[in-house]
Structure 1
Amino acid sequence: MKKVLIVILVAFIIIQFFPIDKTNPAPTPGMDFLRIKKTPDHIAKIIRTSCYDCHSNETQYPWYANISPASWFVKNHINEGRKHLNFSTFAVYESQRQLKKLEECMEMIEKKEMPLESYYLGHQDAKLTDEQRTELVKYFKKIKEDTERGIMFDK
């Protein structure tokens, strides 16, 4: 038993020499959702607090992102989050994809699937109230309708 614990401890120490890359891609303000959609400050604050760590290039890594294997878990969530929706590059999405992403945002927020429960463990301020959820869904719906109107006028 003592040998097993020593092996586990040595393995834990060794994996600390393989840190994750915590470098965020360069900011692109002209492509950022909050900027291009002229998001009101109170809504922008909610989105930044509850969404941007995983769904933008502005991730603020928590202290436990310095400890493997927790850091690997965090990095995987961030990579997956950015893959599904990246608010920092929202402007590069074609109009139809923007509509789809807005629809997904509304659905995930309404179903309380986002933010993830596991995210709340280290980010209590990210927990959305029912009022904030309603406000975000209403905002995303308005942006979706505006985008749809824009597509109709472009044709």
Structure 2
Amino acid sequence: MRRTFLFFFWVFLGIQVIRVDYDIPESVPENDLIALMSPPEEVANILTKSCYDCHSHKTEYPWYSQVAPFSWWTTHHVAEARMHFNFSKWNEMSQKDLETFAEEAEYEINEDEMPLPPYTWIHSGADLTEGEKEIMIAWLNDVGY
């Protein structure tokens, strides 16, 4: 038992030397969704607290993202989220991308798939209330992509 524990302890310590790239590109405010669309303040607040950490260049990596293997998962997820929709590059979205965003966002919100459940376990303030879900869905429908 002790040998097994020591083995995993040394493996855990060993993987800490494998560093990840915490890519945080410069954010250009005038290209950002909030700057370009001027959503209502409550929508902007919801986007900022529940979406921007992964889907923008305004990522604030938490302490656990410095510890492997969590660092690998976190940086991979952020990179994947930015590739899918990046609110910091809103001006580069095509009309088709915008339509897809609106449809997917509404679905993800309704199905409680976004923000990701593992994210909300650690960031309890990011979880959407029923009222916030209604606000976001109404806004998505109002923008009319």
Please give the range of the TM-score, normalised by the shorter of the 2 chains.
over 0.9
Q: Secondary structure at the match of 2:122?
A: coil
Which segments of 5 or more consecutive residues in structure 1 lack a partner in the other structure?
Answer: 148-155
Confirm or deny that 1:47 pairs with 2:47. Answer: yes
Q: TM-score, normalised by structure 1?
A: 0.87
* 1:97-127: CA deviation from partner (whole Å, max 9, x where unpaired): 1111122111111221111111111100011
Structure showing greater radius of gyration is: 1
Residue number in structure 2 paired with 1:150: none
Match for 1:7: what amino acid? F
Aligned length: 145
Q: Secondary structure at the match of 1:26?
A: coil
* 1:19-68: CA deviation from partner (whole Å, max 9, x where unpaired): 22223011021221111001222211111100111111111111100111
Q: TM-score, normalised by structure 2?
A: 0.93
Which segments of 5 or more consecutive residues in structure 2 lack a partner in the other structure?
Answer: none
Confirm or deny that 1:107 pairs with 2:124. Answer: no
The Cα of 1:137 is off from its aligned counterpart by 0.7
CA separation in 2, counterparts of 1:110 and 1:47?
Answer: 15
Residue number in structure 1 paired with 2:17: 17
Aligned-residue CA RMSD (Å): 1.3
CA separation in 1, counterparts of 2:70 and 2:50?
Answer: 20
Percent of residue pairs bearing the same amino acid type: 31
CA separation in 1, counterparts of 2:25 and 2:40?
Answer: 25
The Cα of 1:8 is off from its aligned counterpart by 1.5
